[in-house]
Amino acid sequence: MKHIILIMLFLFSTLNIVQANEQKKLEVLKIPYNTLTAKEEQVIVHKGTERPYTGKYYLTKEKGVYTCKRCNAPLYRSEDKFDSHCGWPSFDDEIKGAVKRIADKDGRRTEIVCANCGAHLGHVFKGEHMTDKNIRHCVNSISMNFEAESVPKEKKAYFAGGCFWGVEYYLEKLDGVSEVLSGYMGGKTKNPTYYDVSYKNSGHLEVVEVTYNPDIISYEKIAKTFFEIHDPTQKDGQGPDIGSQYLSAVFYSNDEEKKTIEKLIGMLKKNGYDAATKIREKTPFYKAEEGHQDYYDKHKKQPYCHSYTKRF
């Protein structure tokens, strides 16, 4: 009998040690929840509901990710959000594995909670035919935070150096340049056409609008390339293209750009190039007709009056 008692005591002691170890493991793995206000706790912990049309994210349309307010786990993407006119943020999809469905105590609805920490989010409904996915996650704003998508900062620069086909061809190949558009700038006519610029003396120059990321490439680097892909010393046009619309010019957007161009022109003159490039303040840019965009790539040709010459 004593042996049986000793064995039972040993097993009980061992079980307690195992349970204690498991509890320690759970404590180590325990998610550090964010501190909630009384109002947040009423919804997130005690499964309350905030009043319709009062939530912070009811009409939010910015791009980003919605996360759990209690544990920061990602829940929904902005592209899955839609306006259901119900008074609460609505989504027709969740991030895979982020949301758990539970039968509601009312016996009719399906509750949704954060799969990571169990925070109450709201309810999910099917069969309403509001979107193609035919599902609606009706979520309390107070149960979520929103992390806006970081948008790469981009800037625009404007250059005229003869036919815009060739300028566009070279500048769009630079790392950090996301887009180059051919267009018109510097005249008085609104929304000019190629015919207006070429035959009606509208005063515009053929210009390219360069969109670039300053974290990758500097304005000065783009400007240097511009001065090296056309002849900045030609005063009546560029190559065989003669006329006011083909003159060399830079349209600056701020004093910093203006000073950069002045510095580069000064460097060119020191290197023996009598630059005729005009420095003009930016005016409205008008995108040229579609047939002028990416002209050389579309026609599998090479520029006829632009080429690279190192000048700096």
Residues carrying an active site annotation: 138, 163
Q: Tell me 291's DSSP state.
A: G
Burial class (CB in 10 A: 0-12, 13-18, 19+), 1: exposed
> d(Cα 93, Cα 169) in Å, to the nearest integer?
42
Q: Which residues pair with 99 in a beta bridge?
A: 114
Backbone dihedral angles phi then psi of residue 39, each to the nearest 5 degrees: -70, -40
Question: Which residue is it, tokens 């009043």?
Answer: 51
The vertex-263 CA angle with 257 and 265, nearest 5°, equals 105
Contact 206, 182 (CB under 8 A): yes
Structure tokens at 260: 């950069």
Question: Going by C-beta distance under 8 Å and a sequence separation of 6 or more, which residues neighbour residue 239?
Answer: 162, 231, 304, 305, 306
How far is 182 from 292, CA to CA, in rounded Å?
7
Pairing assessment for the beta strands 278-281 and 248-252 based on DSSP bridges: parallel
Alpha carbon of 169 to those of 164, 227, 232, 308: distances in Å?
8, 14, 17, 11
Give dist(CA 113, CA 25) in Å, integer: 24
Of 310, 135, 134, the C-alpha closest to 229 is 310
Cα 66 from Cα 95, distance rounded (Å): 10
Please report where in the chains the tokens 């511009």 appear, as a residue. 226
| Cα end-to-end span (Å), the chain | 100
